[in-house]
Amino acid sequence: MSEPELIPLARPALGEREEELVLEVLRSGRLSLGPTLERFEREFADRLGVPDAVAVSSGTAALHLGVRALGWGEGDEVVTAPFSFVASANCLLYERVKPVFCDIDPVTLNLDPVAARDAIDEQTVGLLPVDILGYPAALPELERIASEGGLTLLQDSCEALGAVDRDGRAVGSRGHLAAFAFYANKQMTTGEGGMLAVSEPELAAALRSERNQGRAPDMDWVEHDRLGFNYRLTDIQAALGIAQLERLDEMLGARERAAALYTAGLAALDQGAQAGEGDPAGLVLPCADRETERRSWFVYAVRLPASADREAVVADLAQRGVQAKAYMPAIHLMPHLRERFGYREGQFPAAEDASARLLALPFFPGIEEAQVERVCEALGEALRGNWT
Ligand SMILES: *Cc1c(COP(=O)(O)O)cnc(C)c1O
């Protein structure tokens, strides 16, 4: 029997337009801090509907500069979600800020505003909500909590470009700093890259200086008036970003269609199952959009039944040519946070449950209907065979 063709977890949508714009930059000789970078920033800001946007080398770099721009530092605490990609906590550690975790909403998997309010104390200076798996965080409530407590806000929207919040506003456009990321599995990619949405001109100037070794715009290359980093995005990457922005709506639409195929395919699987040991019933699918909120589909992750053996399911799927991934480890239980702050199991049950049960399935704009069907079928079979 021949090996089934592997269906990968993610694959960027790249085409002739990307090649054309990248070639233009290569032929121009302006590879860094050139006009393509400026154009990418301008077009991204316009698309989002914010006054300015500052491009950097990664989503993590965007978060790090955001933390510094808000003046969060040693002795400060910031309330954030334990169920996230580790960068949303690491960016605080870089500046010796203590991440104070609180539990998530078990449905949306985003920071629970009630838990966030309870976690605030005298040391708290800010909130760092994450729009997890592309679902918009509860920003209207969190902003209210922040303003009551005199706190500042940094939004990690790295998984949510294109999402819309409860007030009908594009995620990242509410006026506080918001970070986006362009790694190859995100809604749009520059290979590696990130962006900060900014509404104040002085803040944007400070961010542009810090991404460039602390150099002021009117200074010579070797003069620096503050501590900075090399967090620059190249013009080659910016060219990719411009091409990806042009087709962002098309890619978001394709992701939405793929998600609908999964939702239908997995619901059928669920209904077709016989009750009892080893049936795939009990899968929890990603939550539907509530009221005016709109998810921007980032990955398609299902929660396996509690008694399914997730590791065995991943291995079984791999045998069937389907790449799947446990998604994601709870941050408070990672050694560098556990040891430093004494976090332990059982503190955030909803986050720990999500982290123990979620499985990301192959998901990208170009995925075909037949591939989604194959994944659904394979998942059904893998679940039947791997029960604890
Ligand atoms: C992707 C991502 C980031 C940034 O990742 P980079 O690899 O540094 O671009 C930050 N936070 C979350 C939640 C992410 O998913």
List the domains of the chain with CATH numbers: 16-248 (3.40.640.10), 249-324+362-385 (3.90.1150.10)
Question: In whole angstroms, what is the distance from residue 376 CA to residue 388 CA?
Answer: 21
Sign of the alpha-carbon torsion through 31, 36, 42, 47: negative
Residue 96: left (phi > 0), alpha (psi -120 to 50), or beta? left
Distance 227 CA to ligand 1 centre (A): 24
53 membership: H or E segment, kind and range: strand 52-56
Distance 58 CA to ligand 1 centre (A): 8
Residue-by-residue pLDDT tens, the chain, 388 positions: 566 789 999 999 999 999 999 999 999 999 999 999 999 999 999 999 999 999 999 999 999 999 999 999 999 999 999 999 999 999 999 999 999 999 999 999 999 999 999 999 999 999 999 999 999 999 999 999 999 999 999 999 999 999 999 999 999 999 999 999 999 999 999 999 999 999 999 999 999 999 999 988 776 666 777 899 999 999 999 999 999 999 999 999 999 999 999 999 998 876 555 444 445 567 999 999 999 999 999 999 999 998 899 999 999 999 999 999 999 999 999 999 999 999 999 999 999 999 999 999 999 999 999 999 999 999 999 998 876 5
Cβ-based neighbours of 29, under 8 Å, separated by 6 or more: none
Question: In whole angstroms, what is the distance from residue 128 CA to residue 118 CA?
Answer: 15
Distance 179 CA to ligand 1 centre (A): 9
Distance 222 CA to ligand 1 centre (A): 31
For residue 185, the ligand 1 atom closest to its alpha carbon is 1
59: Cβ below 6 Å to ligand 1?
Answer: yes
60: Cβ below 6 Å to ligand 1?
Answer: yes
170: Cβ below 6 Å to ligand 1?
Answer: no
Distance 186 CA to ligand 1 centre (A): 9
Strands (E), 129-193: 152-156, 177-181
Q: Candidates 9, 86, 91, 156: which one to mutate for ligand 1, based on the most atoms within 8 Å of Cβ?
A: 156
Q: What is the pTM of this model?
A: 0.96
Distance 84 CA to ligand 1 centre (A): 9
Answer yes or no: are the C-beta atoms of 361 and 324 closer than 8 Å. yes
299: Cβ below 6 Å to ligand 1?
Answer: no
For residue 193, the ligand 1 atom closest to its alpha carbon is 9
Q: What are phi and psi of 212, to 5 degrees?
A: -125, 50
341 membership: H or E segment, kind and range: helix 335-341
Distance 194 CA to ligand 1 centre (A): 9
